[in-house]
Amino acid sequence: MKDCSFHTMKTLKIKKIKAREILDSRGNPTIEVELETDFGKFLASVPSGASKGKYEAVELRDGGKRYFGKGVKKAVKNVNEIISKKLKGFNVTKQKEIDQVLIELDGTENKSNLGANAICAVSLAVCKTGAKAKNLPLYKYIRSLYDIRNTKYVIPRPSFNIINGGVHAGNELDFQEFMICPKEKSFSENLRFGVEIYHKLKEIISKKYGKLATNLGDEGGFAPPIKDPETAIKLILEAAKTLNYQEKISIFLDVAASQFFDGKKYKTKFGKFSGKELANFYFKLVKKYPIEGIEDPFAQDDFESWGHFNSKLKRQKSKVLIVGDDLIVTNPKRIKMAKEKNLCNAIIVKINQIGTVTEAIEAVKLAKSFGWQIMVSHRSGETTDDFISDFAVGICADFIKAGAPARGERVAKYNRLLRIEEELQGSKI
């Protein structure tokens, strides 16, 4: 079959892959990969999370004194001296084949040999290059890899993290993210609502707690001096109500409960809870506030609490999403386990948690086969790479979260979605 791209098969070959150490949004090192072909050079970079699930693919760091041990020279070397040599001459449109080579070249279950950060950067760069080779926008190319046909392109609903806590902020909030998720049909309107509520929230926090309280956490949300999750929710709803948007948004919480679980109890600044007691606290919140989803409500191995909470919500015929992140880590094996144990009904997808584009797509396919909803996510330590925006559209994600509608590394993702929406205006497929 004749290739429909404007390149010959010869020019589709990888000539060289070069990695370098750059900085993420926290000022820590991360990897950028430059993939060279006859028709251009293509860049991709990987983010890093502060709140990591223990089952994530391993991010290779150098240790030692340089950058306080956070350097990535070893991972860079693995790209330049091992991966680049192995992949030279490969056809860039063979994403699945190349990702499989990367997995086998590493040879470990958790990518600890070459480093998931090295592997992921290369996989992303290959995907971007493949899209150019096929003369397709990245989201359409990803759709072809995902193999969905006769399905409209839909921009996922954005979930904006506008109050930060947990390991993302220096305040006493144990819950990590308090997000608003506008419910309008167009992405541009949802973005506008998010921005306006964000700025109104800044005014309200400044008046209540002083200007210092509007300092930002890692993901661009405010970090006021509060410790009760209900206070954060009330502040957000006050900002929305002031703008008469209270009926136009829902709330997502990212609890990241593994961060304050000691193996027996959940120890927070506002109380100590057993799993069932914490579940009862969530039930109270769900009844009082327009909460659409709760991410990582329990620790990643506390299956009993996950199962109890999910089963009780089902009995109540609740539509609240129980979202697995640390529980799932974008890993098909963990997704199957969660389904068998009835633990959740939605997942966070972070490509660097699993390491390759192909594996992330497999995770999405499996979760969707269970009827679960999908939220594509950034990480707290980000770069200005906007790959996840195209990825979210390509895989038909229900939601995307990229932080607050502020700071360059977050806004890059939202601005890319604006451009995709503009491109799709009037498109039927």
Catalytic residue set: 219, 350
Beta strands 271-273; 160-164: pairing state:
unpaired
Q: Where are the alpha helices (DSSP H) in 134-186?
A: 138-146
For residue 304, give both structure tokens.
Answer: 């009993």
Sequential DSSP letters for 208-268: HH-GGGG-B-TTS-B--S---HHHHHHHHHHHHHHTT-TTSEEEEEE--GGGGB-SS-EEE
Identify whether the C-beta of residue 75 lies closer than 8 Å to the C-beta of residue 31: yes
Distances (CA, A) of 300 to 113, 256, 329, 348: 24, 9, 10, 13
User: Which SS3 state, helix, strand or coil, does residue 399 take?
Assistant: strand
- Across 29-158, where does the E strand assignment appear? 29-37, 40-45, 157-158
For residue 130, give both structure tokens.
Answer: 């493949």
Q: Quick count: other Cβ atoms within 10 Å of Cβ 314?
A: 12
Q: Which residue has the tokens 């700071």?
A: 407
Task: Indicate left, alpha or beta for 342 from its phi (over 0: left) and psi (-120 to 50: alpha).
Answer: left
Distance CA 372, CA 339 (A): 10
Identify whether the C-beta of residue 391 lies closer than 8 Å to the C-beta of residue 417: no
User: Which residues 6+ apart lie within 8 Å of 264 measured at CB?
Assistant: none
For residue 222, give both structure tokens.
Answer: 């405010």
